[in-house]
Amino acid sequence: MSMKDTKLWTWHMASGVIILVLLGAHMLAMHMSGVLPIERLNPAGDNPLDWANVVARGREVSQVVGYILLVGVGLFHGLFGLRNILFELDPAPGLQKLISVVLLLLGLGLFVFGAWSAVAARTMALSVSG
Amino acid sequence: MPEIKKYPNRLGIKGWLFGGKWGPERYLYFLHRVTGLGLLFYFLIHIVVVSSRAFGQEQWETAMANVTGPIFLVGEYLVFVAFVFHALNGVRLVLVELGVLTGKAEDPVFPYRSSLNVQRPFMIVMMILAAILIVVGGYDFFVLVAH
């Protein structure tokens, strides 16, 4: 394992810890709202998918920043994990390079799209009255 | 520089399934990979689906209507289960990787102490915790929210 791979592996572990916190909060808000109703996460009622709740969360800077961070860290953790699994199957060096480039482009593309949608949703939420 | 002998990955994906003498942790390794791949697949689609909120209420509600129903409810619960298992098993793996659960190296004097003396009980605790969260989450999914 090269020094670069060791560093990436360390980041892989660190990103897992960050995801545990952010996705844990996301799971609490989205899927355990009945057991643990946290008003700040769903201020407009119990259903987290109601448009009013989506707008309310969009107004919170911490929600938008947390979402963008989660998308970035989650994409890195997931795609690097997939890369490790694929590399274990011992592909040829040229194919390894191709896998890395494709996963990097996929990750960057989805990150830009996810971050843009969070910012655009916030802009829309701020323009909605109420 | 001496050439490093490279051993081919003879078992490939089949090797994930057979824990053999390696014990339950080996099967957790298999489950960690399967849940990780499942979560990644869901996550990539999830980013695209929830981005519909950027296009307004109508698009959001249309997107949500397309992913509503009993099959999606069960699928979403499976994602929740996968996350709980992957997260708690991941905490165990990080602690093992950092040497927290392996203890210091010592001479092999009878009666031997194995690093499993600490790792195995911790693994059991994490799996019990995962089971509790999975049951509580199921109660939320299928009892509280569905009604």
Contact status, residue A31 vs residue B141, Cβ threshold 8 Å:
yes
DSSP state, residue A36: S
Q: Measured between alpha carbons, how far is B69 from A78 in angstroms, rounded to an integer? A: 27
Region A24-45 average pLDDT: 71
Residues of chain A above pLDDT 70, percent? 89
CB contact, 8 Å: B60 with chain A?
Answer: yes
Q: pTM here?
A: 0.87
Predicted local distance difference test score (pLDDT) of residue A127: 87
Contact B141 A114 (CB under 8 A): no
Which residue in chain A is spatially nearest to B147 when comparing CA positions? A34
CB contact, 8 Å: B59 with chain A?
Answer: no
Contact status, residue A27 vs residue B83, Cβ threshold 8 Å:
yes
Is residue B53 in some structural domain? yes
- Full residue range of the structural domain in which residue B91 is found: 15-144
Inter-chain CB pairs, A–B, below 8 Å: 86
- Cα–Cα distances in Å, from B76 out to B41, B71, B83, B99, B142? 13, 9, 11, 35, 11
Contact A31 B36 (CB under 8 A): no
Q: What is the DSSP string of A65-106?
A: HHHHHHHHHHHHHHHHHHHHHHHHT---HHHHHHHHHHHHHH
Query: Measured between CB atoms, which of B9, B47, B139 is closest to A89?
Result: B9
Predicted local distance difference test score (pLDDT) of residue A121: 92
Amino acid code (one letter) for B48: V
Q: Where are the domains of chain A?
A: 3-127
Query: Measured between CB atoms, which of B12, B39, B94 is closest to A78?
Result: B39
Closest CA to B19 of B11, B9, B30, B6: B30
**pLDDT above 70 for B6:** no
Local structure of B11: helix, strand or coil: coil
Local structure of A11: helix, strand or coil: helix
Predicted local distance difference test score (pLDDT) of residue A1: 64
Is residue B9 in some structural domain? no
Query: Measured between CB atoms, which of A51, A74, A79 is closest to B60?
Result: A51
Interface test with B, best of A17, A32, A89 (most B CBs within 10 A): A32
Contact B136 A71 (CB under 8 A): no
Contact B137 A32 (CB under 8 A): yes
**pLDDT above 90 for B15:** no
Q: Measured between alpha carbons, how far is A55 from A44 in angstroms, rounded to an integer? A: 9
CATH number assigned to the domain comprising residue B139? 1.20.1300.10
Closest CA to B134 of A27, A56, A103: A27
Is residue B19 in some structural domain? yes
Is residue B121 in some structural domain? yes
Q: Measured between alpha carbons, how far is B10 from A125 in angstroms, rounded to an integer? A: 54
Higher pLDDT pick, A90 / B84 = B84
CB contact, 8 Å: B136 with chain A?
Answer: yes
Which residue in chain B is spatially nearest to A54 when comparing CA positions? B53
Q: Measured between alpha carbons, how far is A13 from A77 in angstroms, rounded to an integer? A: 8
What confidence tier does B126 reach under pLDDT thresholds 50, 70, 90? very high
**pLDDT above 60 for B23:** yes
Contact B80 A23 (CB under 8 A): no
Is residue B7 in some structural domain? no
Amino acid code (one letter) for B104: K
* Total tally of structural domains belonging to chain B: 1
Contact B97 A13 (CB under 8 A): yes
CB contact, 8 Å: B40 with chain A?
Answer: yes
Q: Measured between alpha carbons, how far is B6 from B76 in angstroms, rounded to an integer? A: 42
Structure-token match 């390079």, residue found: A97
CB contact, 8 Å: B4 with chain A?
Answer: no
CB contact, 8 Å: B70 with chain A?
Answer: no
Q: Measured between alpha carbons, how far is A112 from A107 in angstroms, rounded to an integer? A: 9
Which residue in chain B is spatially nearest to A79 when comparing CA positions? B40
Give me chain B's average pLDDT, please. 86
What confidence tier does B91 reach under pLDDT thresholds 50, 70, 90? very high
Architecture in CATH for domain A3-127: Up-down Bundle (1.20)
Is residue B66 in some structural domain? yes
**pLDDT above 90 for A102:** yes
